[in-house]
Structure 1
């Protein structure tokens, strides 16, 4: 309890995970019964304990509930899945860890997120799931201690409606750089009434959507600065490519389905629904959106593609999608021995059994970094693999090095004010550069 109280006192400094899609709400469904399932590839668990998984990804809540029930039906081990609302994971985790029945399985977003929860992390170096990783790159380690294990690799970029793009007179081959994207988007805007659709969906800055821009889009200038300086983390960002950040943000907000002044109230659902309704060609989001865009009378793979987020920096002809992870499973070492073993058995089953790997590939659309992974049917995952095989360089996920959620919120507020016309771009620069330095100093104190 002392650790939890210390965390509560440090709430203003808490580092929140960047949301990856969805605006789902918290839900709790204990797994009690379900249909039969295929035999697990690994040894059937015999643990006497139970599992409580605090899930980070709202868009996969239903799939996790189903998989948990199947596991319980097969093993008799109770599994409860609770899903935090989008953007609320860190505060939900903090609240849940203070309860007598705390999560046995939770998530951190990388080294920065781990700082808050290291004292709660069971050492996974001797676990079965650790031996299943395809690379040690997917283990969150300090020395020989394994604090977390990445369970999904994802990609994001600009999801494109190829059918609408062709109606506007263009193909994917016409967009190979920022200048190409700008030309196409501004031409579509000039003919918006004639065409009946816009270039971009709304760049909503509501909490269910703003992570796409204060975190995922902000990754691009950070990535290119890191590349130029030959570093992978820093306590003082210089803002070398913030003019490029401005250029892509201007393109988004000035060639959209709505006026820039309306963005503060636009949600993630608004943006997705605009894309589904054929109101815009481009929609910045990730591979996790695939299931929301396809099936049940929605789009087919023939309608869709994902292209890189170009900002006018680097070798754009050979730039790939933004690919990486901020999703690391951690097991609560404060749980009972039985619950720890039950949790270790459950996650190992998820990544080794036929039913577990199939659910993660088909129902969740995940690429998982484990030896027994099944191929995902997700179009965007396949396109990322094709780009990489063709020699294009993926843009790494560097937002796990962003100093705090407070920093992200500052950047988000500045972006919103700039879009609304109540502040100039210097406000964004200050939030980005000065805000980074001040938050990094607080972390170091």
Structure 2
């Protein structure tokens, strides 16, 4: 069946099933030409680079990561100047990627390059995905691990590997009388955080930045933090996905969330309105030692005009009191898979494949990915990233610590995440109970999985 004829079915399934969410912008989505835009229509904010010569095809990239918008716009401009191929980059605003993708794919001039977050996301869009098997970019992958397949077809390619954990201001930590070597478990983290809180007025800073539950920030807790109890349950049960999460480690999830909200820059009742920018700015202003976020934040914290140097920062694992914590690494993986729209014209498909390959193989492309975007890319010509958080992950892995896998791509739907997020917000505000969080987590998972199976 032609994919265009099944668009309404795909859109309905996508609304019911898992949506992209994650990093920084990782849980990004809604269209904007800059990372701070609040526009909701892609066509009103798309930034395209004009071709300097006639080209056989064109590229329209619907970007998932708002924090890299400017870098993508610059890279697209360079490519157009070099090749004459027009490249349009539209960046989806935080939390709106799937909605924007659905809207844009329904248009006659749809994206030629888009993203899915893994198997759940691919299930919604596989009818639109060009088979990348045998392409130049597929041949440059360092491992088939980063190929997203449906049977024998390669329908997506992971283009960035990222890590998240507790970004740590080592200078403030030392002012509190500790070093990163003092924190190797949840109990250690709890001891340090509660001591900082007890001396907050004396020290002039808090343990944690605000665990904001605004839509620009809540993905850090309903997705990234929620990954930890899922990961450890999967490890214990020897599985990599499930239609019925048991919630084995939800008490540990509660303990780490309680630690965040009771030892932060604000009262828990204020979290519903706290944004991602609030949390980042608190960290930038030396108001807190720990900031749960990922390697994608590096360029927002270090560089021209930024207050930190590499020597000031590191990233610690998110300990929740489970497993071999002495040998636990950062949460490392990807939920960013490039897909090419097979409904585009042959010229546009070829132009898109050429652009993708140039991004991950040319000097300009690989340097921009490493230096401007802070990415580690799984391709043969990758440039080593200067990102201090990437280096921390490499050091931990080299020391034998086990990275925590990104299992949140198996979460059944965006609706499930929103249910967990609402329950967490009410719990923090004192208007809901932890039992409500458990219900949203366990029962919500089962009901959303059932809807997916029926779709």
TM bucket by the smaller chain? Answer: over 0.9
What is aligned with 1:397?
406
- 3-state DSSP of counterpart to 2:155: strand
Q: 1:31 and 2:31 equivalent?
A: no
What is aligned with 2:354?
345
Q: Cα distance, 1:11 vs. partner?
A: 5.4
Structure 1 residues 300 and 428, CA gap change in structure 2 (3 angstroms): same
Question: TM-score, normalised on structure 1?
Answer: 0.96
What is aligned with 1:310?
319
Structure 1 distance, partners of 2:124, 2:378, is 25
What is aligned with 2:170?
162
Structure 1 residues 302 and 378, CA gap change in structure 2 (3 angstroms): same
What is aligned with 1:367?
376
Tell me the alpha carbon deviations over residues 98-120 of structure 1, each in whole angstroms, 9 at most, x when there is no partner: 11100000000000001110000
Structure 1 distance, partners of 2:191, 2:51, is 55
Structure 2 distance, partners of 1:384, 1:404, is 29
Structure 2 distance, partners of 1:17, 1:128, is 26
Structure 1 distance, partners of 2:14, 2:381, is 39
In structure 1, the gaps of 5 or more residues are 35-45
Structure 2 distance, partners of 1:97, 1:28, is 15
Structure 2 distance, partners of 1:371, 1:144, is 23
What is aligned with 1:414?
423
Structure 1 distance, partners of 2:105, 2:318, is 38
1:213 to 204, 221, 237: 221
Please tell me whether the aligned partners of residues 47 and 341 of structure 1 are also in contact (alpha carbons under 8 angstroms): no
User: Which runs of structure 2 are paired with 1:43-442 in the superposition (5 Å)?
Assistant: 48-295=56-303, 296-442=305-451
Structure 2 distance, partners of 1:392, 1:263, is 33
- 3-state DSSP of counterpart to 1:147: strand
Structure 2 distance, partners of 1:183, 1:358, is 41
Tell me the alpha carbon deviations over residues 290-316 of structure 1, each in whole angstroms, 9 at most, x when there is no partner: 000112142001110100000000000
What is aligned with 1:13?
16
Structure 2 distance, partners of 1:4, 1:103, is 14
Please tell me whether the aligned partners of residues 205 and 267 of structure 1 are also in contact (alpha carbons under 8 angstroms): yes
Tell me the alpha carbon deviations over residues 155-206 of structure 1, each in whole angstroms, 9 at most, x when there is no partner: 0000000000000000000000000000000000000011000000000000
Structure 1 distance, partners of 2:144, 2:164, is 23
Please tell me whether the aligned partners of residues 15 and 90 of structure 1 are also in contact (alpha carbons under 8 angstroms): no
In structure 2, the gaps of 5 or more residues are 26-34, 40-44
Please tell me whether the aligned partners of residues 155 and 287 of structure 1 are also in contact (alpha carbons under 8 angstroms): yes
- 3-state DSSP of counterpart to 2:46: strand
Structure 2 distance, partners of 1:139, 1:283, is 31
| Count of residues in correspondence between the two structures | 435
Structure 1 residues 72 and 269, CA gap change in structure 2 (3 angstroms): same
Please tell me whether the aligned partners of residues 168 and 289 of structure 2 are also in contact (alpha carbons under 8 angstroms): yes
Please tell me whether the aligned partners of residues 13 and 452 of structure 2 are also in contact (alpha carbons under 8 angstroms): no
Structure 1 residues 286 and 261, CA gap change in structure 2 (3 angstroms): same
Q: Cα distance, 1:33 vs. partner?
A: 6.7
- 3-state DSSP of counterpart to 1:59: helix
Question: TM-score, normalised on structure 2?
Answer: 0.94
Structure 1 distance, partners of 2:349, 2:51, is 22
Q: Cα distance, 1:47 vs. partner?
A: 6.3
Tell me the alpha carbon deviations over residues 230-280 of structure 1, each in whole angstroms, 9 at most, x when there is no partner: 000000000000000000000000001000000000000000000000000
Q: Cα distance, 1:14 vs. partner?
A: 4.1
Structure 2 distance, partners of 1:155, 1:9, is 32
